[in-house]
Structure 1
């Protein structure tokens, strides 16, 4: 009920009015039912608001647990807000917690829901596409669900990193064709297979978004912004594997 109110009464109408979000390609690629993984590039916090707004089905995004554990009135309002927009708390503070987050993702998909995930693991610091983490591949193999690439456009202009206020700017979305990894069934413990799948997903995102690809994790790029190599285009691009 809260999700419906946020989408159709409270937040949704405001977002539509000021940002005019639109799916410009591939709406038919979202299944009408059954579990699937929506793997998106990540330009801004608002990505998790605009994509669910434009789909008829509910999308569940993992969100850092700090959004749900605040104290006082502000903490309660924050928890209410993020729950209302369809996000679930994820603890990533340790290896066991990270595994718990992956297990949660598998559970969501097995329940026949749409799971939204950002393979880069964090927002891009400069609107480029960074190396994907293999968690998305593990969830895909454990759940048996297809991975649907999603490219967001304009959210970094509407919601720049560090900004407290959003700025009106058109938001556009492209949805790619589902990627089937059933040929790797039973190989979720093989790191080489997980990397291959993740690279294939990132290749699809690179083609769909038109972003420059950087063969470095975004989290590392944020830690070392002054390293010259971070400002250059990588010679390596993720591979598109043969079916």
Structure 2
């Protein structure tokens, strides 16, 4: 049994009891082949809930601090996050964006699922912010379809992304797969990249019902 299967078998029932996830549209995730899951990011537990509600393992990028902690807590966090599919990347470094992009490309070329939050960070206020174009680069470079998803209610269980989440109910809603083969070979055209990214974010907004803000979330956080 793989570590991912072990974690789902052991912790899955506990997490389902705690978060009571309602899943809608899971049939839109292809049973095999490369897939990009792209959705909103409300709080820390999004990355715990998402792997638990998908049949296939979802690989995603995470802060390297999640696997470099000290003591028993640090080792347990590292064991859990690498087990469910997180690949640690120093996103704050000079080449963090390139490293994340290349990691996603490698995962997709291996025929696996890559999960990404196009906003680049958690929403500071529950609204949906402008997506970064890495999602567009990935789908155009690899040809992988994009399945948009929406996390609904996770911010109510863990406001601000801090502290121990409280029990409650969350919804994970998946939309129909999007494909952008008409833009093949145009992964360096910034207008195409923006158009593709905005198309994905429009679907995420429709699924989540969030108010959209045409500003990067990182800028909004700095302004606050």
Deviations 1:109-144 (A, max 9, x none): 111111110000001111110000001111111111
Question: Aligned residue for 2:52?
Answer: 53
Deviations 1:155-194 (A, max 9, x none): 1011221531111110111110111111111111111111
Q: Secondary structure at the match of 2:160?
A: coil
Task: Check 1:19–1:198 CA distance in 2 against 1; reply closer, same or farther (3 A cut).
Answer: same
1:121-140 pair list within 5 angstroms: 121-140=120-139
Q: Secondary structure at the match of 1:37?
A: strand
The CA deviation at 1:12 is 1.1
- The alignment of Structure 1 onto Structure 2 pairs a total of residues equal to 223
Distance 1:214 1:184 in 2: 26
Q: Secondary structure at the match of 1:133?
A: coil
What is the TM-score when the length of structure 1 is the normalising length?
0.88
Distance 1:46 1:162 in 2: 8
Distance 1:172 1:216 in 2: 26
Q: Secondary structure at the match of 1:204?
A: helix
Matched, 1:39 2:38: yes
Matched, 1:171 2:170: yes
Structure 1 stretches of 4+ with a deviation exceeding 4 A read none
What is the TM-score when the length of structure 2 is the normalising length?
0.95
Question: Aligned residue for 1:17?
Answer: 17
1:94-109 pair list within 5 angstroms: 94-109=93-108
Question: Aligned residue for 2:8?
Answer: 7
Unaligned stretches of 5+ in structure 1? Answer: 226-243
Deviations 1:68-122 (A, max 9, x none): 2234444322211211222111121334232121000011011111111000000
Unaligned stretches of 5+ in structure 2? Answer: none
Deviations 1:180-226 (A, max 9, x none): 1111111111111111110111111111111000011111111111x
1:89-238 pair list within 5 angstroms: 89-225=88-224
RMSD (Å) for aligned C-alpha atoms: 1.3
Q: Secondary structure at the match of 2:159?
A: coil
Higher-RCO chain (CA-CA 8 Å, sequence separation at least 6): 2
The CA deviation at 1:67 is 1.4
